[in-house]
Amino acid sequence: MGSETSQSQLERRQRWTTIDEKQFIDGLGTHALNVGDSSFSPKDVDLAERANLLIKYAKSMSIRTEWGEVNKVEISKYIREKINALREQIQQATIKALEQTETSIN
């Protein structure tokens, strides 16, 4: 009986969860080697590339049929928040670059 409980607990830990999916999303476009790997430097991330990957992920959600332990509604909200945050970062970076260009011209 004890081994059945241990096996059941092990199986639950091996299932892909909403937390795992969020960690996967957080790694898209960062070139992290593993889910949850935080060894990359945020300054090395290409924002446009990351945004493109997140948008592709969001589009692919509609054809995904098996979600298992992953909460699709929560992930949908999470990916929208990530895309919106990246859009804001890209806009701010563009404004900063334009301001620097304008300053160097004057």
Establish if 51 belongs to a structural domain: yes
- Identify whether 38 is part of a domain: yes
If one counts the domains in the chain, the total is: 1
Q: Has residue 45 been placed in a domain?
A: yes
pLDDT tens for each residue of 29-66: 887 555 555 555 555 678 888 999 999 999 999 999 99
Overall pTM surpassing 0.75 (yes/no): no
Q: What is the pLDDT of residue 52?
A: 93
Residue-range definition of the domain harbouring residue 99:
16-105
**Long-range CB contact pairs, 22-30, < 8 A, 24+:** 22/75, 22/78, 25/54, 25/57, 25/75, 25/78, 25/79, 25/82, 26/82, 28/53, 28/54, 28/57, 29/53, 29/54
- In a domain, residue 70? The reply is yes
More confident call, 58 vs 7? 58
Tell me, yes or no, whether 90 lies in a domain. yes
